[in-house]
Structure 1
Amino acid sequence: MGVLYDYFRAPSVADVCRHMSERDASSPVPEVFDGFELKGIDPSVTLGMLIAFSADQEWSVGLVNERVIWPEGRDQDTEYGGPWASVLNDRVRDVLADIPADRVSALAERWAAIEEFSGRGDVVLLRELMADFTTLAVHAREHGESLYCWSCL
């Protein structure tokens, strides 16, 4: 069983935390916030690699700068299995929103070759996923929102 990751946009950290507290920490996608459901695309490494490729820089641990916002203090509890909600750095939103259409194919091929996909990522699927991320990021930026990730074991 893998980790579930749902990516979404929301007006504020407070809105996300309120949803998590009031709805038994269920995923807010797609009923509450605009976003999509995934499995296996973690923010820090797998998405971080796409961010690095898109920004023409080396991947580093703090590139995505994901910060757990809910539940408070659980990010330090090794026994807790989730769910969690985290906010991604707005630079991630902007890099995703700015991916030009003429780079998508090359970026998807490079992304498909990363170790996290065992070098066998489905390029067509990753192109579609990049389009989802880009659209979500564009809408988030247009509305002054951040990108968030809901995850659970």
Structure 2
Amino acid sequence: MATKGFDSTTDLGAIEGILAGVDFDEFLARPRTSHVVAERDGGERLVLTISDELQGVLARVETAELTVAARHWVEEQGSGDTDAIGGLLHELAELARGAQRRGERLYCWICV
């Protein structure tokens, strides 16, 4: 899945806050939140961890909740495309479910 203009730390923290009521400082304090596991080209290409807690939330959330979360996220940001964010959240949830079934973890690849 590819997206532009989505910050894996702040935006995923906001999404988890919306879906699970998690405070952003708590989100950041988790052991697997946005830690660099691979870096190339002076930081222009990165692989970051996605917390187990966020992966669990995404794997368990209902489809209707994702749509509501996308709408809420766009309202909080003051701009954005609800359908695009909703689509992104649905894809993330599917990835999380698949990873959970296989006993795997989620990562985010960033290319600036």
Question: Given the two structures, how large is their TM-score scaled by the length of structure 2?
Answer: 0.84
In the other structure, the counterpart of 1:141 is 100
Q: What is the CA distance between 1:96 and its match in structure 2?
A: 0.8
* The one of 65, 83, 90 aligned to 2:45: 83
User: Does residue 1:99 correspond to 2:64, yes or no?
Assistant: no
Larger displacement relative to structure 2 (135-144 or 80-89): 80-89
What's the RMSD between the two structures over aligned residues?
Answer: 2.0
Larger relative contact order (Cα-Cα within 8 Å, sequence gap ≥ 6) = 1
Alpha-carbon distance between aligned partners in 2 of 1:105 and 1:111, rounded to the nearest angstrom: 10
* The one of 38, 62, 77 aligned to 2:28: 62
- Would the alpha carbon gap of residues 88 and 104 (structure 1) be closer, same or farther in structure 2, given more than 3 Å must change? closer
* The one of 89, 109, 117 aligned to 2:71: 109
Gaps in structure 2 of 5+ consecutive residues: none
In the other structure, the counterpart of 2:17 is 52
Alpha-carbon distance between aligned partners in 2 of 1:86 and 1:125, rounded to the nearest angstrom: 22
Q: Work out whether residues 99 and 105 of structure 2, in 8 Å CA contact, stay in contact via their aligned partners in 1.
A: yes
Q: What is the CA distance between 1:63 and its match in structure 2?
A: 5.7
Q: What is the CA distance between 1:80 and its match in structure 2?
A: 2.3
SS at match of 1:93: helix
* The one of 69, 88, 100 aligned to 1:129: 88
- Greater share of strand residues, 1 or 2? 1
SS at match of 2:47: strand
- Greater share of helix residues, 1 or 2? 2
Alpha-carbon distance between aligned partners in 1 of 2:43 and 2:23, rounded to the nearest angstrom: 31
Moved over 3 A (4+): none
Question: Given the two structures, how large is their TM-score scaled by the length of structure 1?
Answer: 0.64
Question: Between the two proteins, what is the percent identity of the paired residues?
Answer: 27
Select the structure of larger CA radius of gyration: 1
